[in-house]
Structure 1
Amino acid sequence: MFKYVYRNDKLDEPVFRLFRGGVPTVEQLRAAAVDDAVTDELVALIRRLDESGALAELRRLAGGPPPGQPLGYAGPAFFHHWTDNDMVITGPGGGILIDVHTAIATNKTAQSRLWVWKLLTSAWLDTADAYRVRTVGLYFARQGALVTWPVDELADILLEGGDRDAAREEFRALAERLRTQEHPPRVTGPLKPGRHTIAVTAVVMNDRGRVLVARRRDTGRWKVPGGVLGLDEPIPAGLRRTVEEKTGVVVEPERLTGVYQDVGLGIVALVFRAHIADGEPAPTHASAAVDWWPADRVGTELGQVFAVNVRDALVAGQVAVRLHDGASLLSEEAALLAS
């Protein structure tokens, strides 16, 4: 149901509304199912996962975390959401990328080869090594069978002695060309959305004067933490939620330091100076890494817009109001021309 909502932008679906007020109970989720057959099959598949020993193997691969602790990440995104994978187990020796299949029969050679090649190429597409995938595998849910291979060994098997590194680089180059053809760079002018999106960002400093930053799992890019404000979500709550999703810490906003309008993408970002109220920065489902950077490094590596966000947050005074095109600051006149 969530996949349907995501792909069709049906934000009025009942299952989506369940989460507007918080996290629903199991009973509320089950009541949203179309009929009992849906949940009965899921219960049977979960029982098979446990009874077959596959769940115990997944826990072993994850390093044996205590009950109740997550084993990894669901729905990992590779190469700007081109590939649709199921989960990454975060093991002590690196990530294990696993795709789940509910096929009744697994003896169709052509289909099986596609499954295995997809695993290998998904690992290759993680060019930023955000998930540290060192092993890939298939889990056949109806049979309760889990099969895994080290990435390099699988590449050698599939390439039948070919040059693994050359094949990987050739594939990545091909994928980049195809993506460029599908989504060419914006060269004729900015996008013109029908309405603006509101984003919130927190500039958090430690006692050494360094800025909290996080590296996104989907793109591999470092960002000052924050995100898009939800519909009907209070601004302070949205700031706390998005920063916690990116860094694992709960922050409290101190003051609004700047309002920044991206005239190309139609995004208005509200930037706050904030401090950590609870928790320690750590990787999350959304961020592969979290770090503290000197303010000048933010400007050098993240670009002019983020540099100004941080600079404005460090200077006490009036709230800054600035326009930009995603890369450079613009005057009001230049922004009118760009739009």
Structure 2
Amino acid sequence: MLARVCWVLAGWEHAFRTGRMPEQLAAIHAHPGYTVDDLRAAAPEPAVAELVNLARVLHTSRTLAGWRGDAPGCPIATGPLGIANPIILPGWAEADLLLGSTLWEVTTVTSLDNPAVLVRALWRLLACAWLDTRDVYGIRAVGIYLARHGVTMSWGLTAFCSMVFGGTGRDDAAREAFLPLARRLARADGAEPPPPWVPRERILYGSH
């Protein structure tokens, strides 16, 4: 039942972002007097099965346990795990997941044969970290979660930047070149451009 509710919520979110509602939900909304049961029943079985499997992998891979900091003999922490879909730049840039100071890209790619898919995800992580110019979210690390495979990889932001630019020390210059371009593009899309970059402590975390 939870997977069905998640599908409905995702459909509404899609409609909010794109103006297009999934046809199954649109058909329900076209007839006044529908119920919650009607909405849940609209979820296609393949979509429900996929959501259930993704949740299963999240648990069986121990990814969720790692994110929560679960350990034998330690109580599970209560309260929110993190921030889903943090708004990096209103109306223009949004990330997938923020846990503590780590920004995560969550991808459901089925195959890893095309490295370009992962390359785009990694560049997106870096762009989102750089667009948080006022350090609102305190991003100090980034990571990617392959949701179908239950695999995570994360890096300290400083180490990640160094890795992306091959240890050439060009990451600060690249950021300074990126932000003016991002401001122009954001303005062109009708969004508020990112404010000037605020220097912050550079913390070097190892990859893991």
**TM-score, structure 1 as length reference:** 0.45
The 1:166–1:15 alpha-carbon spacing in structure 2 relative to 1, beyond 3 Å, is: farther
**Pair 1:142-2:169 in alignment:** no
Q: Aligned to 2:91, which of 44, 60, 81?
A: 81
Instruction: Determine which structure has the larger strand proportion and give its number.
Output: 1
Residue 99 of structure 1: aligned partner: 105
Is structure 2 residue 79 aligned with structure 1 residue 69? Answer: yes
Cα distance in structure 1, aligned partners of 2:48 and 2:13: 17
Question: Is the 1:97–1:136 contact (alpha carbons within 8 Å) kept by the matching residues of 2?
Answer: yes
Identity, % of aligned positions: 33
Alignment of 1:120-139 (within 5 A): 120-139=126-145
> Residues 135 and 151 of structure 1 are in contact (CA less than 8 Å); yes or no, is this contact kept in structure 2?
yes
Aligned to 1:41: 50
Counterpart in the other structure of 2:125: 119
**Superposition pairs for residues 179-218 of structure 1, below 5 Å?**
179-183=186-190
User: Which residue pairs with 1:327 in the alignment?
Assistant: none
Q: Tell me how far apart the structure 1 counterparts of residues 126 and 191 of structure 2 sit (CA, whole Å).
A: 26
SS of structure 2 residue aligned to 1:148: strand
List per-residue Cα deviations over 1:75-133 (Å, max 9, x = no partner).
1112233234211112xxxx211111111112322222111111011100011211111
Runs (4 or more) in structure 1 with deviation over 6 Å come to: 14-17
Contact 1:96 1:137 in 2 (8 A): yes
Question: Does the 8 Å contact 2:58/2:150 carry over to 1?
Answer: yes
Q: Is the 8 A contact 2:105 2:144 kept in 1?
A: yes
Partner of 1:166: 173
Q: 1:49: Cα distance to partner?
A: 0.6
User: Is the 8 Å Cα contact of residues 107 and 146 (structure 2) preserved in structure 1?
Assistant: yes
| Secondary structure, aligned partner of 2:69 | helix
Q: Which residue pairs with 2:17 in the alignment?
A: 7
Q: Does 1:50 align with 2:59?
A: yes
Q: 1:163 deviation in Å?
A: 2.4
Query: Could you tell me how far apart the structure 2 residues matched to 1:88 and 1:78 are?
Result: 11
Residue matched to 1:155:
161
Render the CA deviation track for 1:8-66: whole Å, top value 9, x for unaligned.
Answer: 4469958889xxxxxx98x6763342x222111111110111001111111129xx884
Q: Secondary structure at the match of 2:140?
A: strand
Unpaired segments ≥5 residues, structure 2: 1-10, 196-208
TM-score of the pair, normalised by structure 2: 0.71
- Give, in whole Å, the separation in 2 of the partners of 1:74 and 1:172: 24
Mapped contact 2:28–2:38 kept (Cα < 8 A): no
CA distance in 2, matches of 1:65, 1:113: 37
Deviations 1:191-237 (A, max 9, x none): xxxxxxxxxxxxxxxxxxxxxxxxxxxx89xxxxxxxxxxxxxxxxx
| Secondary structure in 2 matching 1:88 | strand
Q: When the two structures are aligned, how many residues end up with a matched partner?
A: 173
What's the counterpart of residue 207 of structure 1? none
Q: Which amino acid aligns with 1:72?
A: G
**Equivalent residues of 1:139, 1:145 under 8 A apart:** yes
Following superposition, the deviation at residue 159 of structure 1 comes to 1.1
Q: Which protein, 1 or 2, shows the higher relative CO under an 8 Å CA cutoff with sep ≥ 6?
A: 2
- Which structure 1 residue ranges, 5 or more long, are not aligned? 18-23, 186-218, 221-339
